[in-house]
Structure 1
Amino acid sequence: MSENTTAARERDRIEKEIDIAAPPERVWAVLTEPEHVGAWFGHGEPAPVDLRPGGTMLLDHGADGKFPTTIVTVEPPRRFAYRWASAYPGEQTDEGNSTLVEFTLTPVGEGTRLRVVETGFAGLRITEERRAAALYESHVNGWADQLANIRKYAETGETDGVDGGAGTDG
C-alpha cells in the first residue's frame, strides 16, 4: 500500500469518543429526541426526527443551512447511525453526496462511553463553495466540539453554545 493510499484511508474516517456521566438511556435520548437534538446540534428549536431506518432527522446548521439526514440504524440505547450530506444543504442523502455518522453507546460504570465514527470522505462529491464546511478537517474539529457539547447537555441540560454541529470549527 502506498503512502498516498494510507493517507487517503486515514482521512476517510473520523473516530472520537468521550465518557459521559449519564446512563446510556439519557445519552440515547439526547442523540435522538427532537428537543434534545435541537439543543446540542441546532439553535434550540426541536429538530424533526422520524426515528426509524429510512426516516429523516433534520439538522439545523444555522447560516450554513438545514440538512435532512437519512437514518440508517436505530438500536436503542446502543447504536444510532445516519447519513448526512454536509456539502448539500437541503438535499436528501445518497452514497455519493454524504458521509455515514455512527454513534455507539457503551455503559461504563453509571455512565456512558459515546463513540462517534464518521466515514466516507474519500468518495464525497463536494461543491467548491461548500468545501470548507464539508471537508474532513472541519468535521474532525466539529466532532471534538460536539462531543463536548453532548456531554455537557446530557449531564446538565445546558450547552456551551457550540452552534451548527459537526462540520464547523465551533
Structure 2
Amino acid sequence: MTEDLSAGRAGDRIEKEITIDAPVARVWAVLTEPKHVGSWFGQGSPTPVDLRPGGTMFLDHGEFGQFPTTIVEVDAPHRFSYRWASAYPGEQAVDGNSTLVEFTLTSEGDGTRLRVVETGFSSITIPDDRKDSASYESHEAGWSEQVVNIQQYAERLSA
C-alpha cells in the first residue's frame, strides 16, 4: 500500500512511500536500467540512461513530451536522484527549470521500502499551457500512480 507523506508541505514537496515485494537490487534495476525505466515510466521502449552524476536519462512521457533529465546522485543500490524539467519538454533539466526527484531504497525483510520525494515546484515558473502536466498537483497525483507502477513491475520480474 502506498503512503502519501506530502500533506502540509505547501505545494512544494511530494513524498510517497511503498513496500515492494522484491529485493533492493531488483528495484534499483527497475529505476535505473534502460530496459526497465521505459516500461514503468514511458512508452515501453528502452530509455537511454547515462547512470552517473551529470549524466542524462531520457524520459518519454508520450503526449506530454520527452524529457532529458540530469542525474544528480547515484549511490547504488540505495539512492538515486535526477532533475526533471517537466514544464519544458526537450530542454535539459538544470537548476531553475526543474524539480529534483529522489529515490531512496531500504531493505525491509525480503522486500524493499521505496521512498520517492520530488521538490522544487515553488522555485520554477510553469507556463500556463503546461500546468496540467507539470504542476505540483499533477505530479502529486502522478507519483501516486507511478509508485504503484514501479511496485507492480518490480514484483512481476523474475528473481
Task: Please tell me the root mean square deviation across aligned C-alpha atoms, in Å.
Answer: 1.2
Identify the residue that residue 54 of structure 1 maps to in structure 2.
Answer: 54
Question: Structure 2 CA distance, aligned partners of 1:119 and 1:38?
Answer: 23
Instruction: Kindly tell me the number of residue pairs found equivalent between the two proteins.
Output: 151
Structure 1 segments unaligned to the other structure (5+ residues)? 1-6, 158-170
Q: What is the TM-score normalised by the length of structure 1?
A: 0.86
**Structure 1 segments of 4+ aligned residues over 3 angstroms from their partners:** none
Shift of 1:10: 2.4
Give the aligned residue type for 1:38.
G
Identify the residue that residue 3 of structure 2 maps to in structure 1.
Answer: none
Structure 2 segments unaligned to the other structure (5+ residues)? 1-7
| Superimposed CA distance per residue, residues 131-169 of structure 1 (whole angstroms, 9 cap, x where no aligned partner) | 111100000100010000000000003xxxxxxxxxxxx
| Superimposed CA distance per residue, residues 60-87 of structure 1 (whole angstroms, 9 cap, x where no aligned partner) | 0001110000000000000000000000
Give the aligned residue type for 2:152.
K
Q: Does 1:41 align with 2:44?
A: no
Q: Does 1:24 align with 2:4?
A: no
Q: Does 1:63 align with 2:87?
A: no
Question: Structure 2 CA distance, aligned partners of 1:82 and 1:54?
Answer: 9
Question: Structure 2 CA distance, aligned partners of 1:85 and 1:30?
Answer: 21
Same amino acid, percent of matched pairs: 68
Identify the residue that residue 137 of structure 2 maps to in structure 1.
Answer: 137
Question: Structure 2 CA distance, aligned partners of 1:87 and 1:43?
Answer: 19
Q: What is the TM-score normalised by the length of structure 2?
A: 0.92
| Superimposed CA distance per residue, residues 84-112 of structure 1 (whole angstroms, 9 cap, x where no aligned partner) | 00000000112111000000000000000
Question: Structure 1 CA distance, aligned partners of 2:96 and 2:37?
Answer: 25
Listed as ranges, the matches of 1:8-157 within 5 Å are 9-157=9-157
